Amino acid sequence: MQNFRINFTNKVRTDRVVIGYTATTRTQDGRQRIIYHGEQDYYRDVVPLIFLESGAAAVEAIGQVIKGIDTDYVLSEVIFAVPQNTAILTVPSFMSFTRYLTDNGYLSRVLTHATAEGQIVDTKFSQELRLG
């Protein structure tokens, strides 16, 4: 198993919201290797606002990455750029992320540990303030 991480970017424009995501892993010599890249444009006059406000757009993108790469890769970290306008776009809650993983049978594709109550997701969620 090889760990990978997903790094999200976003742009909130007057007509649309652009969400980009890149999955990377480390090679044996320590270099970063891109294993998946995607970008989605959501046009603000047609996308249900709750889809962006709830973070569901990012959760769905994470699912696309998980489905699009070999099962040898395990998601260890998700890094979100702080949204430019949190009234329109927000980072998903960790609970909605774990619910999505459970509902779709993806717990084996993320870092977890077992307890008496079941599997606990150990994948890290973080936000970065990016300027520019």
| Predicted pLDDT of residue 14 | 94
Q: Is there a contact between 84 and 10 (Cβ–Cβ < 8 Å)?
A: yes
| Predicted pLDDT of residue 130 | 67
Asked whether the predicted pLDDT for residue 25 surpasses 70, the reply is yes
| Predicted pLDDT of residue 71 | 96
Instruction: Count CB neighbours of 28 within 10 A.
Output: 5
pLDDT per position as a tens digit, 72-103: 999 999 999 998 899 999 999 999 999 999 99
Asked whether the predicted pLDDT for residue 131 surpasses 70, the reply is no
- Whether the model clears a pTM of 0.85, i.e. scores above it, the answer is yes
Q: Which of 11, 102, 100 is nearest to 59 (CA)?
A: 100
Residue ranges of domains in the chain: 2-128
* Exposed/middle/buried for residue 67 (C-beta within 10 Å: 0-12, 13-18, 19+): exposed
Asked whether the predicted pLDDT for residue 114 surpasses 80, the reply is yes
**Torsion angle of the four alpha carbons 15, 88, 130, 111, in this order, in degrees rounded to the nearest 10:** -120
- Averaged pLDDT of the chain: 95
